[in-house]
Every structure is written in structure tokens, then in C-alpha cells.
């Protein structure tokens, strides 16, 4: 029995496949299998390439979207973005760069030309560092840039520099400039305000809307005696003297609410308990919506000013040597005496007084002794007149007395005699006794005149007749003539 050899085919995966037919058929089948395997591998490679192509397209789309988003961010950014080449020539910039100059003017310019000279060296150092050391832009620094118009304050920026790479080489620079001008101005204003707050000679007190003290400056402590720790947290009313009534504070608060400010003089009390006058200005501090946030009170102790004003007022009305009313106050008192006499119909007497031979005292003993004589004469005249009378010094050794209700020869005689006797008493100056005499001239309202000028002239004329009579005597004017009442 004949046996036929069965054909077999060895597959690529190592399996053996029994094939029908002869050897030629087997060879054909093997070739077909190899073609099938090659085709399968090609299909697999194509599928891989298609997947890679799809991934690549997706990556490109993502990169394009990212670039578009980045461009949108840069275009909308308030920060200035400038692209330059390695030496700083401006290639691109975003709209925010218009804060320096029109964009078309910036194109092709070197960025360093816009940096103020004081900051230019640092600009070039940072540029060189970014190019040579491949700086990754971690450092920020401050630069001041000029404006195109050159007539405004510089633009202050915080700079960040990012190198741009191509083929692992820096081929450009990305400058990110953040405008911090307002921040620096605010910081400057804050420093100035702090300096003024701390160094002001006036007291400064900041309160909330209810009057609670939030902050005080050193001058507040100097004026009031209260430290910051003692004052902060207290209501400003703890300084009140109690001299201002409810009506005062009603006007005070109405002005603050309606006008946002109040200014005036009031009395407050120091820590020692002393009351003092102060000039106070209060201003409301509001937000952008007009809502009051706090009140700023600035005050100064005007005790010294008040004393100075009183001193000036005193000097304007009183003689500094004798402390008697001067010519100005004499005129006021004379006007008042005339008004009272006209209203009441009661006469009064004006007495003009001159010290005899006073010039000789000045010439022989000096002005110091003369001043002492005038001072003592003023004291003695004050010692003999009534409370309602006015003794004034018109200048030199001339004194006047306004004597309300004094009239008649007998009463005037008694009044003048008492004054002359007081002046005639010895005056001791530097261990030396001086004797002085005086001449009095009297004029009575309304008999000898109905206004100040006539009365003063008639009293002066009577005084000169007394002096011509030898002094130490008083004369009274009568009907155009003067006659002696009494000679001592």
C-alpha cells in the first residue's frame, strides 16, 4: 500500500499547518501567508501613523489655541509687554506700551533709550545677564522710564525679563513692565503724611464716626499730657472741659454732618486738670462713595496766643511804664463819661496834671530815676481817687483824671488838694529822697465844654496857669478864664 506524503506549512508564529495538495501548493500557500503577514504589519503601521498624526494635529490645535489665548492675555494685559532682540531693539509690544509713546514710535527704537539715565546701567546689566547667563527671569527690579512728551513725571515700573530661545540659543527678550507709579506715589504720599503726622506741631487725633479715638500723634501727648495708650480707645469727649453747652455741640455735629468740617475755638482739659483754649479743625474722611469713615481733628494750644492777644490788647490801652490807661483808653473812657453825663444830666470834672520841674530830675539823675518818679506818681494818684475815677498818663509827665459826678468849687478843691498832698510826699530812689510838686488844671462838664477837645483844652490851659503861678496849686477854668482854687 502506497503512502502519500502529507504537505505541511510552517507559520510565522511557529505553528504547523497541514495543507491539502502537493508541494507546489504548499509553497504558494506559504507565500500567501507571508503577504498576509506583511499586509497586516503595514496596516498596523498605518494605524499607528494615523494615531500619531491625529495626536499631532490635536497638539497643534492645542498649541494654536494656547498661543491665541496667550496673545489675548498679553493684548488685554495692563502690564507692558515688549519683545526685543538681544541688544534691546523693540520688535513687538502690546497696547499697554502706549503709556510710554504711540506704538508706531516705539517700533525699531532701543528700549534702553526710554530708560532714565540713573537706571540705564542696571537695564544693560540685566539685559546682558539674560543673554549670556540664560537668566530665567526670576528677578524683578525697578526702572524709571520717560514719556514721549518729556513733560510729565516718569513712569515707574517693576521689570521682569524673560529670554526667548531658538535652537537652545537666546534670540530675543520678553520684557514685562508693571506700572507701579501710582503705588510709589501712594507710598510717597503715605510717608509724607506719616512724617507730617508725627512731626506736626499741632495735635492730630483720628476718630471713628462715633468719636472713638483711633490714633494720635506725639504733639497730642505734648499738648494734652495723655499718652497714645491712654487716649486710643477712649471717646474724644474725655478731653471736654465742660465749658461748652449742649447748644454748642448741636451746632458742632450739624456742621460736621452737613459740611463735613468744623472749625473754631473751644476749651478742653489736659491730663493735669488744667483747662486750655485750643483752635480746632475737624474734617471728615470719606470713601469714594461719600461714606464717612473717620474724622481727623487737628488742634493747637492757643494759650500762648491768647496771652499774646491779651498782652497786645493791654499794650494798646495801657501805659507800659505806669500801667495806667494810655491816651487811647483815656479817649474811650472820656467818650463814655460824656455819654453818661449827657444821659443822666450829672456833671463831671476833667483834671489835667503836670509834674513840676520833672525835666530837671531826668537831666540830673537820669531817665531811670525819672521813670521811678512817674511810676510812684501814678501809684499815689490811684491811691487817692475814687473807684469810679480814671487816672491816665497821656505821655511824659502829663496825667489826667476823669472824675464822674465831681463838680462844684468846694468838692473839686477838696479832691485836688488831697491829690497834691499825696504827690508832695518825699520819694526815695536809690537811697535818695526827692521832693516833687505838681500843677492841676480843672474843667467841668458842661460848664467849661461839652466835648472832649474843648474840655481837655480848657483843663490844659488851667494847668498852665497853675504852673505859671509857681506850681503845687490847682486852677479851675471859668468863662474863658482860670483862677486859683487854692495855693499850697
Q: What distance in Å separates the CA atoms of residue 232 and residue 282, rounded to the nearest whole number?
A: 17
Can you give the pTM of this predicted structure? 0.48
User: Which one is predicted more confidently, 73 or 450?
Assistant: 450
Please provide the average confidence, as pLDDT, over all residues in the chain: 85
72, pLDDT greater than 50:
yes
Report whether pLDDT(137) > 80: no
Rounded to an integer, what distance in angstroms lies between the CA atom of residue 84 and that of residue 81? 10
CA nearest neighbour of 347 among 446, 214, 225, 470: 446
Query: 278 or 150: which carries more pLDDT confidence?
Result: 278
> Domain 318-487 maps to which CATH number in 3.40.50.300, 3.30.565.10, 3.30.70.270, 2.60.290.11?
3.30.70.270
Asked if pLDDT for residue 429 goes beyond 80, the answer is yes
What integer pLDDT is reported at residue 481 of this predicted model? 47
When comparing pLDDT for 167 and 440, which is higher? 440
As a whole number of angstroms, the distance between CA 320 and CA 302 comes to 24
Q: Is the pLDDT of residue 379 over 90?
A: yes
Q: Which of 281, 282, 283, 276 is nearest to 302 (CA)?
A: 276
Q: Of the ranges 124-138, 336-350, 456-470, which one carries the lowest mean pLDDT score?
A: 124-138
**Which of the four pLDDT bands, split at 50, 70 and 90, describes residue 483?**
very low
Q: Decide if 109 contacts 83 (C-beta within 8 A).
A: no
Parallel, antiparallel or unpaired: strands 155-166 and 169-179: antiparallel
Half-sphere exposure of 196 (CA within 13 A, CB side): 9
The pLDDT-based confidence of 480 (bands split at 50, 70, 90) is very low
Superfamily designation of domain 200-306:
PAS domain (3.30.450.20)
What is the model's pLDDT at position 323? Answer: 93
Percent of the chain past pLDDT 70, that is, above it, reads 91
| DSSP string of 61-117, one letter each residue | HHHHHHHHHHHHHHHH-SSEEEEE-TT-BEEEE-GGGGGTS-HHHHTTSBGGGGB-H
Q: Which of 175, 86, 94 is nearest to 132 (CA)?
A: 86
The per-residue pLDDT for 24 is 66
32-58: average pLDDT: 83
- Confirm if 82 and 111 have CB atoms less than 8 A apart: yes
pLDDT band per the 50, 70, 90 thresholds, residue 384: very high
Grouping H, G, I as helix, E, B as strand and the rest as coil, residue 210 is coil
Q: Which CATH superfamily is domain 77-184 in?
A: PAS domain (3.30.450.20)
For 172-225, how does the pLDDT look when each residue is reduced to its tens digit (9 = 90+)?
Answer: 999 999 998 888 877 777 788 788 888 888 999 999 988 899 999 999 999 999
Q: Which residue has the higher pLDDT, 266 or 23?
A: 266
pLDDT at 216: 92
Largest CA distance in the chain: 202
Amino acid at each position: 500500500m502506497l503512502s502519500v506524503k502529507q504537505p505541511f506549512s510552517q507559520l510565522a508564529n511557529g505553528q504547523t499547518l497541514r495543507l491539502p495538495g502537493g508541494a507546489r501548493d504548499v509553497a504558494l500557500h506559504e507565500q500567501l501567508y507571508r503577504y498576509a503577514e506583511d499586509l497586516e504589519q503595514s496596516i498596523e503601521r498605518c494605524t499607528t501613523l494615523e494615531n500619531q498624526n491625529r495626536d499631532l494635529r490635536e497638539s497643534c490645535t492645542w498649541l494654536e489655541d494656547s498661543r491665541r489665548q496667550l496673545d489675548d492675555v498679553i493684548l488685554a494685559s495692563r502690564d507692558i509687554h515688549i519683545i526685543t532682540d538681544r541688544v534691546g531693539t523693540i520688535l513687538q509690544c502690546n497696547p499697554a506700551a502706549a503709556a510710554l509713546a504711540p506704538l508706531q514710535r516705539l517700533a525699531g527704537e532701543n528700549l534702553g533709550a526710554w530708560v532714565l539715565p540713573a537706571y540705564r546701567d542696571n537695564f544693560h546689566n540685566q539685559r546682558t545677564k539674560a543673554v549670556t547667563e540664560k537668566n530665567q527671569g526670576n528677578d524683578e527690579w525697578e526702572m524709571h522710564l520717560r514719556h514721549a512728551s518729556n513733560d510729565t513725571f516718569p513712569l515707574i515700573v517693576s521689570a521682569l525679563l524673560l529670554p526667548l530661545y531658538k535652537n537652545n540659543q537666546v534670540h530675543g527678550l520678553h520684557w514685562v513692565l508693571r506700572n507701579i507709579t501710582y503705588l510709589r506715589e501712594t507710598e510717597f504720599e503715605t510717608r509724607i503724611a506719616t512724617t507730617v503726622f508725627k512731626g506736626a506741631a499741632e495735635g492730630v487725633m483720628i476718630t471713628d464716626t462715633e468719636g472713638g479715638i483711633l490714633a494720635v500723634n506725639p504733639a497730642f501727648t505734648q499738648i494734652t499730657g495723655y499718652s497714645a495708650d491712654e487716649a486710643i480707645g477712649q471717646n474724644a469727649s474725655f478731653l471736654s472741659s465742660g465749658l461748652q453747652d449742649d447748644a454748642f455741640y448741636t451746632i458742632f455735629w450739624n456742621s460736621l454732618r452737613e459740611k463735613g468740617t468744623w472749625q473754631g475755638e473751644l476749651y478742653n482739659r489736659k491730663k493735669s486738670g488744667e483747662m486750655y483754649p485750643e483752635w480746632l479743625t475737624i474734617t471728615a474722611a470719606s470713601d469714594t462713595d461719600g461714606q464717612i469713615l473717620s474724622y481727623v481733628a487737628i488742634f493747637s494750644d492757643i494759650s500762648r496766643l491768647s496771652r499774646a492777644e491779651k498782652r497786645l490788647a493791654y499794650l494798646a490801652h495801657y501805659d507800659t511804664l505806669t500801667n495806667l490807661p494810655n491816651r487811647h483808653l483815656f479817649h474811650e473812657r472820656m467818650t463814655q463819661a460824656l455819654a453818661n453825663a449827657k444821659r443822666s444830666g450829672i456833671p463831671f470834672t476833667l483834671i489835667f496834671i503836670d509834674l513840676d520841674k520833672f525835666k530837671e530830675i531826668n537831666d540830673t539823675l537820669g531817665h531811670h530815676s525819672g521813670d521811678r518818679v512817674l511810676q510812684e506818681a501814678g501809684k499815689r494818684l490811684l491811691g487817692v481817687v475814687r473807684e469810679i475815677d480814671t487816672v491816665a498818663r497821656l505821655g511824659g509827665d502829663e496825667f489826667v483824671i476823669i472824675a464822674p459826678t465831681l463838680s462844684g468849687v468846694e468838692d473839686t478843691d477838696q479832691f485836688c488838694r488831697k491829690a497834691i498832698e499825696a504827690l508832695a510826699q518825699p520819694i526815695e530812689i536809690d537811697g535818695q529822697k526827692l521832693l516833687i510838686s505838681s500843677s492841676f488844671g480843672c474843667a467841668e462838664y458842661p460848664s467849661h465844654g461839652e466835648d472832649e477837645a474843648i474840655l481837655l483844652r480848657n483843663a490844659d490851659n488851667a494847668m498852665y496857669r497853675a504852673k505859671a503861678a509857681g506850681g503845687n496849686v490847682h486852677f479851675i477854668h471859668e468863662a474863658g478864664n482860670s483862677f486859683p482854687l487854692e495855693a499850697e
